[in-house]
A and B are shown apart, each in its own frame.
Chain A
Amino acid sequence: MKTPFATLAFCALALPAVADVNDVLDQHILPYFHGFAVATDTLADQASETCDPALLKPAYTDAFNAWMAIGDLRIGPSESGALSIYFWPDKRGFTPRTLTRLIDEKDPVVQDATAYSEVSIAARGFFALEQMLYDPAFADYGADSYSCALTAAITADLAAQAKTLADAWAKEFVVTIRTAGQPGNTTYLSEDEALRAVYTQILSSLEFTSVQRLGQPLGTFDRPRPARAEARRSERSLKNVLLASESAYAMAGHLADWDIPHTDAAMSRLRDAATRIEDPAFQDITDPSARFRLEALQIAVQDLKTAIEGEIGGHLGIGAGFNSQDGD
Chain B
Amino acid sequence: MTRLFMTTTAIALGLSGAVQAQSATDVLNTYADIAAAKYEDSLIAARTLDAALDALIAAPSAENLQAAKSAWLAARVPYQQTEVFRFGNAIVDDWEGKVNAWPLDEGLIDYVDTGYGGPTDENQLAALNVVANPTFTLSGTEIDATNITPALLEEQLHEADGVEANVATGYHAIEFLLWGQDLNGHGDGAGNRSWTDYAQGDDCTNGNCDRRAQYLAAATDLLVSDLEWIAGQWTAEGDARAALLENEQAGLAAMLTGMGSLSYGEQAGERMRLGLMLNDPEEEHDCFSDNTHNSHYYDGLGIQNVYLGEYVRIDGTLVSGPSLSDLVAAKDSALDAEMKTKLSNTMLALGRIKSAAEAGFSYDQMLERGNAAGEALVMGGVNGLIDQTQSIERVVATLELDQIEFEGSDSLDDPSAVFQ
Contact = CB atoms under 8 A, between A and B. Distances in A.
Interface of A: 79-80, 83-84, 87, 91-94, 118-122, 187, 189, 192-193, 196, 200, 203-204, 207, 210-211, 219-220, 223, 227-228, 309, 313-314, 317-328
Nearest to B420: A328
14 contacts: A79-B386, A91-B122, A118-B369, A118-B370, A120-B277, A121-B278, A196-B393, A211-B416, A223-B161, A322-B393, A322-B413, A323-B265, A327-B265, A328-B419
> What does DSSP make chain B's interface, helix, strand, loop or mixed?
helix
A192 B396 CA distance: 13
B265 A321 contact: no
Contact of B260 (A318, A319, A322): A322
B166 interface: no
B413 A93 contact: no
A14 to B, nearest CB: 31
Interface of B: 87, 97, 103, 105, 120-122, 161-162, 164-165, 260-261, 263-266, 269-270, 273-274, 277-280, 369-370, 386, 389-390, 392-394, 396-397, 402-406, 412-413, 415-416, 418-419
A115 B105 CA distance: 31
Contacts of B394: 189, 193
A220 B265 contact: no
A83 B415 contact: no
Contacts of B277: 80, 83-84, 87, 120-121
B415 A323 contact: yes
A325 B265 contact: yes
Contacts of B278: 94, 120-122
Contact of A92 (B97, B122, B392): B122
A84 to B, nearest CB: 6
A322 B122 contact: no
Contacts of B263: 322
Contacts of A193: 393-394
Given A223-B161, A319-B404, A322-B264, A93 B120 contact: yes
B280 A94 contact: yes
A214 to B, nearest CB: 13
Contacts of A314: 406
Contacts of A94: 278, 280
Nearest to A90: B122
A93 B369 CA distance: 19
> Which of A210, A227, A324, A328 counts the most chain B CB atoms within 10 A?
A328
B413 A324 contact: no
Contacts of A87: 277
B121 A322 contact: no
Nearest to B403: A319
Given A220-B162, A325-B265, A326-B264, 6 more contacts: A203-B413, A319-B403, A319-B405, A319-B413, A322-B393, A327-B270
